[in-house]
Amino acid sequence: MINFACKSIFTIFLLILSINSFSHHAFTAEFDANAPVNLTGEVIKVEWINPHAWVHLEVEEAGKKTTWMVEGGTPNTLIRNGLTKQSIKPGTVIVVRGYQSKGKLCLPRCIANGRDVTFPDGRKVFMGSSGTGAPRDGADPRERR
């Protein structure tokens, strides 16, 4: 009897714990932390819009061109980090590290969450937002504080 009561209490505890652990972050709702991407391509379009800026890249792999839409932080955050309308212009070839969306069909284009962008001169800039639940991968300078 005591054994059963203990088991019951433990089960209740575990179940309540599991119910309470469903709180989520914006990143995990849309992007796959287990699908990192490293994209090199030419910028074809930049959307400086809230709540997220979007950088469209044309990535060529094995002779095949694929368009990627990479989500960044808010435009204001990017400007504070040193990314401006002048620095990330169409025609610039950049390298973006990030994570692909949970949906991987790439129809009509592939989607990723951008963590950092590297320019032709080697300058690397954080292009995400802090506190969204993205993996702590060293891209966000605030993580190191």
Partner 1 sequence: MELILEREGNGWMKITLSLILILSISFKSFADNDHHTDMHDVMAHLLTPASEKIWNASGFIITKEGEFSLEPINQEEWNEVIFGAKVIMESTFILNRPDRAKGREDWIRFSELLEPIGKKALEAAESKDSEKLFSVGADLYQACVACHNVYMKK
Footprint of partner 1 on this chain (CB under 8 A)? 1, 4-5, 8, 11-12, 15-16, 19, 22-26, 28-29, 44-52, 74-77, 85, 89-91, 129, 131-133
Closest CB 82 distance from partner 1, rounded Å? 16
- The Cα 120–Cα 92 span in angstroms is 8
Radius of gyration, CA atoms only, the chain: 20
DSSP for residue 76? H
- The Cα 51–Cα 49 span in angstroms is 6
Closest CB 76 distance from partner 1, rounded Å? 4
Nearer to partner 1, 22 or 122 (CB): 22
Nearer to partner 1, 54 or 118 (CB): 54
Task: Give the helix/strand (H/E) hosting 58.
Answer: strand 54-61
Task: Give the helix/strand (H/E) hosting 68.
Answer: strand 64-71
Nearer to partner 1, 24 or 62 (CB): 24
Closest CB 29 distance from partner 1, rounded Å? 7
Closest CB 32 distance from partner 1, rounded Å? 14
Report which of 93, 100, 97, 83 is spatially closest to residue 48, judged by C-alpha positions: 83
Nearer to partner 1, 122 or 133 (CB): 133
